[in-house]
């Protein structure tokens, strides 16, 4: 195929072009698809696609063998943090590495930087905690709660589910489990796939990435995120690092050990069995008490044998209809410093600001890696204020 520039044509190997971009975040963009069809592309389009895919454009002019070697090295690096398969709970959705590639690479960069500049970091106490065989889900739940120092009475006493979510994040980050939340426009990649999030491996600072947006199961976002966050904390505890999809409204008979552990953490069987769950209003009240969605409450009750699958499905249909008919809030663009704090995470941001103060890291490097150049060094005082 040909690259067009100033009226001239330069031949490149089509397999090189297809290999580099076909397994990248731009594989669905019109210029790429059109180039495959016509066997030609303008130099400006090639450079733009390469920039968005984080590929040095001279690589398109390299031999195919070198390109395959580079792709192999890239995949190996990604697999250090995230396994190629998708971890699913009652879901058939799968996530390709290219769907989250730039986010994985960005979180790996952040992990490497904080490991380099923060000597206080120790071996992570949560990663691998739940690998021991022979314990019941209740025992696993207690082990994780004790290790995190997570007091469920405090979580349930939170005035809102948003506050409860923040409290759980605070306990995770206090134990060197970093938490990143999706913020549209402030991440290196626009997410085109519906998934719950992912866990990214590290011996000291594993990352949990919580995806935002519509998961297609008609549940209020914050309550769903609480369940998803605890699920991914369990995965870190079990040493599972992968993209995660979770169907929160599934009534399948078995959801797996991880679901059972999360259920025991957020909705302990002994307490759920004492709750009144005969009407939809009672299910909603119990959900508010346990800081979960009403759908999660209904599914948990079904799995404990307190509600038939038929009644559960009818409750889920009513809840989904109510959610779809709700008054939708108008989306607002966050302040850049708040978006950075949410995506990079408060703990990582604070630790690397301390490295800036200790002159181990320049303000410019901090703005590049932590803030993705969304703010300038002169605006770091606003970020510090947002972290308080």
Enumerate the β-bridge partners of residue 207: 178, 200
Of 58-72, 119-133, 156-170, the range with the lowest mean pLDDT is: 58-72
The CB density around residue 362, as the number of other CB atoms within 10 Å, is 12
**Which residue matches tokens 């009226």?**
7
Q: Answer whether residue 387 shows pLDDT above 70.
A: yes
Alpha carbon distance 345, 113 (integer Å): 14
> What pLDDT, on a 0 to 100 scale, did the predictor assign at position 79?
78
Give which of 192, 10, 13, 180 is closest to 96, Cα–Cα: 192
Q: What percent of the chain has pLDDT over 90?
A: 67
CA 360 to chain centre: 29
* Residue indicated by tokens 């405090």: 154
The rounded distance, in Å, linking the Cα atoms of 24 and 41 is 17
Please write the tens of the pLDDT for every residue from 32-55: 999 999 999 999 999 999 988 888
Instruction: Give mean pLDDT, residues 155-179.
Output: 96
C-alpha dihedral over 191, 193, 199, 201, to 10 degrees?
-70
Mean pLDDT of the 341-358 span: 96
Q: Does residue 190 surpass a pLDDT of 90?
A: no
**Contact 50/13 with Cβ under 8 angstroms?**
no
Mean pLDDT of 11-17: 92
Where do the domains of the chain lie?
Answer: 2-80, 82-324, 336-387
Q: Report the alpha-carbon distance of residue 67 to residue 56 in Å, rounded.
A: 11
Q: Give dist(CA 240, CA 6) in Å, integer.
A: 51
CB 352, CB 361: distance < 8 Å:
yes
Q: In this structure, are residues 185 and 343 in contact, taking their beta carbons and an 8 Å threshold?
A: no
- Distance, in Å, from the CA atom of 270 to the CA atom of 154, rounded to the nearest integer, reads 19
Q: Is the pLDDT of residue 114 over 80?
A: yes
Is residue 232 within 8 A of residue 258, CB to CB? The reply is no
Give the pLDDT band (50/70/90) at residue 270: very high
Return the pLDDT at 217.
60
- CA distance linking residue 341 with residue 354, whole number of Å: 15
Which pLDDT does position 216 carry in this prediction? 59
pLDDT of residue 7: 86
150 and 171 Cβ atoms separated by less than 8 Å: yes
User: Residues 90-111: what's their mean pLDDT?
Assistant: 87
- Residue with the two structure tokens 């699920």: 231
Quote the pLDDT of residue 253. Answer: 66
Q: Is the dihedral of CA 132, 210, 302, 144 positive or negative?
A: positive
Residue 255 has pLDDT above 80, yes or no: no
- Position 381 scores a pLDDT of 95
The pLDDT of residue 218 is above 80: no
Q: Which residue has the higher pLDDT, 137 or 23?
A: 137
- pLDDT at residue number 95: 86
Task: Give residue 333's pLDDT.
Answer: 83
Task: Tell me the average pLDDT across 303-321.
Answer: 92
pLDDT at position 74 is 82
Q: Is 0.75 topped by the overall pTM? A: yes
- How many whole angstroms separate alpha carbon 20 and alpha carbon 18? 6
User: What Cα–Cα distance (Å) separates residue 165 from each residue in 226, 227, 228, 276?
Assistant: 6, 9, 10, 25
């Amino acid at each position: 195929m040909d690259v067009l520039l100033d009226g001239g044509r330069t031949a490149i190997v089509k397999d090189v072009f297809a290999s580099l971009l076909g397994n990248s975040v731009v594989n669905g963009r019109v210029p790429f698809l059109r180039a495959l069809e016509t066997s030609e592309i303008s130099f400006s389009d090639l450079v733009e696609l390469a920039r968005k895919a984080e590929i040095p454009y001279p690589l398109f002019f390299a031999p195919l063998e070198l390109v395959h070697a580079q792709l192999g090295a890239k995949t190996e690096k990604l697999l250090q943090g995230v396994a190629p398969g998708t971890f699913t709970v009652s879901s058939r959705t799968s996530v390709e590495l290219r769907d989250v590639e730039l986010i994985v690479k960005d979180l790996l960069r952040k992990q490497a930087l904080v490991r380099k500049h923060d000597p206080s970091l120790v071996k992570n106490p949560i990663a691998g905690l739940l690998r021991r065989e022979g314990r019941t889900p209740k025992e696993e739940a207690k082990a994780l709660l004790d290790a995190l120092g997570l007091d469920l009475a405090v979580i349930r006493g939170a005035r809102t589910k948003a506050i409860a979510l923040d409290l759980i994040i605070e306990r995770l980050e206090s134990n060197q489990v970093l938490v990143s939340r999706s913020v549209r426009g402030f991440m290196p990649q626009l997410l085109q796939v519906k998934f719950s999030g992912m866990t990214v491996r590290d011996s000291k600072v594993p990352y949990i990435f919580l995806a935002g947006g519509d998961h297609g199961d008609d549940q209020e976002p914050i309550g769903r995120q609480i369940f998803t966050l605890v699920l991914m904390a369990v995965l870190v505890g079990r040493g599972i690092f992968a993209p995660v999809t979770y169907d929160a409204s599934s009534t399948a008979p078995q959801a797996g050990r991880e679901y059972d552990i999360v259920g025991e953490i957020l909705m302990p069987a002994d307490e759920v069995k004492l709750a009144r769950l005969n009407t939809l209003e009672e299910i909603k009240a119990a959900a508010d008490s346990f800081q979960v969605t009403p759908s999660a409450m209904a599914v948990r009750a079904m799995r404990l044998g307190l509600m038939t699958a038929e009644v559960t499905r009818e409750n889920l249909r009513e809840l989904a209809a109510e959610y779809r008919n709700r008054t939708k809030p108008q989306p607002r663009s966050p302040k850049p410093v708040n978006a950075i704090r949410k995506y990079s995470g408060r703990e990582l941001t604070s630790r690397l600001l301390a490295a800036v103060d200790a002159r181990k890291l320049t303000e410019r490097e901090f703005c590049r890696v932590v803030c993705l150049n969304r703010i300038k060094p002169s605006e770091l005082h606003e970020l510090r204020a947002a972290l308080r």
